Amino acid sequence: MASLVQPSGPAHTRILSIGAARGDLDVPNDDIVGPIDSSDEWIRQRTGIVQRRRASRGLEAVDLAVSAGEEAIVRSGLDRADIDGVIIATISNVAVTPSMAALAAHRLGLTPAAAFDISAACAGYVYGVAQADALVRSGVCRNVLVIGAEKLSDIIDPTDRSISFLLADGAGAVVVGPSDHTGIGPTLWGSDGEKWDTIRVTSTFEEYRANPGVVPWPTLRQDGQTVFRWAVWEMAKVARQTLEASGIEAGDLAAFVPHQANMRIVDEFAKQLKLPDSVVVARDIEMQGNTSAASIPLALHALVEEHPELSGGLALTIGFGAGLVYGAQVVEIP
C-alpha cells in the first residue's frame, strides 16, 4: 500500500509585521447622542469613548482590509508569492459569498493563495492568528496574512442604546511566518452558544424577508450588564490561564491588548490581572470605538506606532464577543 506524504513546517512562528486602516470619518459623541437621547458625558462615563472612526458610504470593509493588508505585506519585506494564505475575521461582509478574503487576496496580488473568512466576532482576530500559526508550523502554508476587518456602522440602529454608540469601522492586519524562536504562544479558546442572545442581531434574514415592512433590517443588540460581568470575571480567568500555559507571569509582559469593547472593561480587566505599571495597556477605544474583529490588531498597531520600544516584547491579547466566543494568546510584538 502506498504511503501518504504529510507536510511539516518550522518549529516556531511569530508575527512578522502589522498594518492598519481606520474609517475615514471622525464621529464624536455629540453627533450621535440625539437619536439615543443621551449625552457626551454619559457615553464617556459608561464607555470611555470620545469619538469613533467610521467609514463613508461606499467604503466597504473589504476596502479597509486591503489597505491594512497592504501595509502589513510591505512591512514584512516578503515577496507576495511567499504569502500563500489569507484569513479574514469579520461579521460585516456585504455578501454571504464570495468570501472577503478571496476578494482581498486578489486585490492584494496574492493569487492563488488559499483564502477564507472566519466568523468569531470580537475573538475573530485571535482565532485567525491561531489558525495561521498552525498552518505555518504544519507546513501547509509558508506565510499567512491575517486580517480583522469590520464596517459595523452598516449593522447598527442609530436609536439603539445598548450598543450602537460603541461601534466603529476599521481593519488591522498581521503577517504570520516562520521564526527561529517561539513568537506565538498557545491559544486558549472556547464558546458558550447557549447564551447566544447576549450579543445578537435583532432578526434573521429569513424573518426579515418573510415579514417585509414589519421586521426591520437586522441590527446588533447586546445585554450590556451581562457582557460586562462575563468579560471582566470569566475572561480574566482565561487571561490568567493563558499566561500560565505560556510559561510566563504578568510581570513578563510588555503590553496588554484586550478586545476594545469598553474602557471600563479594559480598566477592570487590567485590575483583575494585577498588571504592574510597566505593562502598557491598550486603550485604543477612546478615539476609535469598538471594531469587533479589528479591534485587537488596530490597538496593537497604535501601540507599536506610539511605543516602538515595545517591539520584541510580549503582549497578552484576548478577544471575546457574540456567541460568548473567546480566545487568548501571548504574542511577540512585531
- Taking alpha carbons only, the member of 291, 213, 322, 308 closest to residue 255 is 308
Contact 20, 298 (CB under 8 A): yes
- Alpha-helical regions (H) of the chain: 40-47, 61-76, 100-107, 124-137, 205-210, 224-229, 235-246, 263-272, 285-288, 295-306
Catalytic site residue 290?
yes
Contact 257, 320 (CB under 8 A): no
Instruction: Name the active-site residue from 141, 143, 290, 301.
Output: 290
Residue 185 burial by Cβ neighbours in a 10 Å radius (0-12, 13-18, 19+): buried
Distance (Å) of CA 147 to CA 2, 20, 139, 143, 227: 39, 9, 21, 13, 25
Catalytic site residue 122?
yes
Catalytic site residue 141?
no
| Crossing angle of helices 61-76 and 100-107, rounded to 10° | 50
196 Cα distance to chain centroid: 19
Instruction: Name the active-site residue from 122, 141, 262, 301.
Output: 122
Alpha carbons 261 and 106: distance in angstroms, whole number: 31
Nine cell digits for residue 34: 440625539
DSSP 162-199: SSGGGB-EEEEEEEEEEESS--B-PPEEE--GGGGGGE
Nine cell digits for residue 37: 437621547
Instruction: Name the active-site residue from 93, 141, 143, 259.
Output: 259
Residue numbers annotated as active site: 122, 259, 290
